[in-house]
Amino acid sequence: MAEGEQGLNSHYAVHWQEEEFYYPRPEFIGQANCTDPDIFERFSLDNFPECFKEFGDLLDWDQYWHTTLDTSEAPVWKWFVGGMLNAAYNCVDRHLAKYKNKTAIHFVPELEEEPIIHMTYQELYRRVNETAAVLQDFCGLKAGDRVTLYLPMTPELPITMLACARLGVIHCQVFAGFSGKACGDRIWDSESEVLITMDAYYRSGKLLNHKANSDEAVAAAEKQGQKVKKVLVWRRYPGKYSSSTDMVEGRDFFADELMQKYKNAVIPPASMPAEGILFLMYTSGSTGRPKGCQHSIGGYLSYVTWMSKYVQDIHPEDVYWCMADIGWITGHSFIVYGPLALGASTVIYEGVPTYPDPGRCWRIAEELDVNIFHTSPTAIRALRKVGGDEPAKYNYYFKHMTTVGEPIEPEVWRWYYEVVGRGKAVVVDTWWQTETGGFLCSTLPALQPMKPGSAGPGLPGIHPIVYDDDGNEIPPGAGKAGNLCVKNPWPGAFQTIWKDKERYIKSYYGKYCKNPQSTDWRDWPYMAGDAAVMAEDGYVRILGRIDDVINVSGHRLGTKEIESAALSAVEVAEAAVVAVPDEIKGTVPDLYVSLKPGYEATTELAKKVSEAVADVLGKIAKPGHVYIVPDMPKTRSGKIMRRILASISSYNDVGDVTTLANPEVVEEIRHMVQG
């Protein structure tokens, strides 16, 4: 199905489970940032869009805005128009008067023998300025230029992001676990002439040569015609890993060496329009090409700051740890921009949560006095599986915990609440997306009870609605699944897809737009691409994606991207990917391939195809299984029936196959997969 024309899959049957509620404890409510029950009234649609003034007011502005929301180019929304500000100033400079000696970033290396770094706001200020000086003077970057970052989880990542923001340069961070080729595609799409990377980093106790991946990224970008003029390489281990022989003369430079020339440089923060671009974050959609989600400076920053304050309940004295990777939107919004805009102390952990043992996370929490903890169901499932009794061995206290990125099974939720949170911490299940900048549905922790397995209702100012395929509202409590949409725009919403406004409109607004000529926001509900059920009390239960996107460990992968990666193996004639439930990762991709004539199905070849996918996209996309089939099940018009393959992989009934062009192949494949 083409993007923007998605339909609800018939397999979203709704199995009602008994609903249970958990209530926040008085100790939490007593200290919470938001305890005002009138807040929802204040943010009713009658007060839209002016209610969002309170979001903008959390920031310092060089010039205040004159128009809260400009809809003249609907559905391209412009927030806080006329306002001028700088994101780095808001995340760093403005805290110096009060907090210059306070820790901004606690950096925890994966190797426990390496010391934890506690970087103060003053130190962060110095390093952001020096980096900005290098980007400006040495690289010649200026406001509006794009620069690709391909950095692992070290302080250099937020420092480089903030240095870009200081200059008004648009950063495009690519998850370090992605392959060089995937990074190259993003360098090309964003037309970045500068790549900023790192020599090496540890993952599961292994030192990875990241410079080699970066060279691949440059080669892949240049193959598509995008010249990379400069590569800045931060050294995690100067002298130990990277030698100058790996460096391409005139192109590659050690970032830490360049900084020496700009010691204590001060670069004034560029005064940027609110609707200027802060960053691009690529994500997967229905087609093979990743989408560069374009986020604004004023709207985005105000949104994540408000969410950090009232949903994450961050106070300046809290130690806040979000375990996501900064290469994904969760890390951008809830490790870097939101917490730093509030002057909080944010933890960056370099490594794997269970390395070197299942107690690692809880040791970090104990050592740093973390009291707000934020992670994904995949991590929770893994921690529960490998060390269900570990949390009890450590001395920490969480007041607040978050789950994000995938549906969480009520049973896993209860372990998180009882064992990790010791029945004391409030839990928020936050539903949102790369496109939305920040949370859309969640409970407000001091005001609304938790319901395991459901994200909360719409947050203040967010008015969700569930539509059926014909555009009729499915009323809350109807017990029927539909397409989850939001009636109104909000400041954190992405502005467009980079260089592809048409795809933006079609994918997110095409299906339910009431009048394509309209500049009235009421005519443009946002379609998220998730199937969901809304209970009578407004809580939403997310059932999964309605498009060709698979959510693996809370990360989005496009089936088309995986299929085209599989086709990079010369032997492969056709490829089809299906999502299969997985105990830890939520879902994993199973890959079915058929071969070109003359090739033989062997286990080595299956392995080779699997490696080819990892090579093109990164390890995260590696299929759970690769099945080499004699032929794909096809309709008479030649369309591959992925639904049938999905049923086989999940051990479900394949249904009626008699209308296929080749029904006999179904039994053969079933036998191959299920034995």
Backbone φ and ψ for 562, nearest 5 degrees, come out as: -70, -40
CA dihedral 256, 258, 259, 261 (to 10 degrees): 140
Residue the block writes with tokens 């691409």: 529
Please state, as a whole number, how many other Cβ atoms lie within 10 Å of the Cβ of residue 100.
14
d(CA 383, CA 360): 10
Cα–Cα distance between 579 and 599 in angstroms, integer?
27
Rounded distance, CA 352 to CA 379, Å?
10
Nearer to ligand PRX, 85 or 322 (CB): 322
Considering the complex, state which of residue 345 and residue 430 has its C-beta at the smaller distance from ligand PRX: 430
- What is the smallest separation between the CB atom of 70 and ligand PRX, expressed in angstroms? 26
| Peptide bond between residue 37 and the one before it cis (omega within 30 degrees of 0) | no
Based on CB atoms, which residue is closest to ligand PRX, 214 or 312? 312
Instruction: Tell me the helices (H) and strands (E) count for the chain, helix number first.
Output: 21, 30
Rounded least distance, CB 441 to ligand PRX, Å = 8
Per-position b or e across 605-639, b if 16+ CB within 10 A of its CB: bbeebbebbebbbbebbbbbebbbbeebbbeeeee
State in angstroms the smallest separation of the CB of 542 from ligand PRX: 4
Give whichever of 15 and 636 is closer to ligand PRX, judged by the CB atom: 15
Choice between 455 and 493, CB closer to ligand PRX: 455
Q: Smaller CB distance to ligand PRX: residue 196 or 404?
A: 404
CA distance 607 to 628: 11
Q: Work out how close the CB of 452 gets to ligand PRX at its nearest, in angstroms, rounded to a whole number.
A: 12
Q: Site residues (CB under 6 A) for ligand PRX? A: 283, 329-330, 404-407, 429-434, 455, 528-530, 542, 545, 551, 554-556
Smallest distance from ligand PRX to CB 645, Å: 21
- Locate 442 and state its tokens: 């969640």
Minimum distance between the CB of residue 71 and ligand PRX, rounded to whole angstroms?
A: 25
3 state SS of 471: coil
DSSP 3-state of 591: strand
- 359 vs 456 by CB, closer to ligand PRX: 456
Residue 87 or 281 having the CB closest to ligand PRX: 281
Q: How far is the CB of 329 from ligand PRX (least distance, A)?
A: 5
Shortest Cβ distance from residue 494 to ligand PRX (Å)?
10
What phi and psi values does residue 150 have, to the nearest 5 degrees? -135, 65
**Nearer of residues 127 and 545 to ligand PRX, judged by Cβ:** 545
Closest to 152 (Cα-Cα) out of 94, 211, 215: 211
| CA distance to 186, 205, 431, 436, per residue, from 542 (Å) | 29, 35, 8, 16
Nearer to ligand PRX, 109 or 327 (CB): 327
The strand pair at 482-486 and 200-203 is best described as: unpaired
Nearest distance from residue 498's CB to ligand PRX, in Å?
15
Query: Helices 559-566 and 603-617, interaxial angle, to 10°?
Result: 120
Taking the complex as a whole, how short is the minimal distance between the CB of residue 286 and ligand PRX, in angstroms?
13
- Which C-beta is closer to ligand PRX: that of 159 or that of 404? 404
φ, ψ (nearest 5 deg) of residue 102: -85, 150
Nearest to 394 by CA among 353, 422, 425: 422
Tell the smallest beta-carbon distance from residue 77 to ligand PRX (Å).
19
Q: What 3 state SS string does 67-109 have? A: EEEECCCCCCCEEEECCEECHHHHHCHHHHHHHCCCEEEEEEC
Q: Which residue, 184 or 405, is less far from ligand PRX as judged by CB?
A: 405
> To the nearest whole angstrom, how small is the minimum distance from the Cβ of residue 454 to ligand PRX?
9
Distance CA 308, CA 420 (A): 21
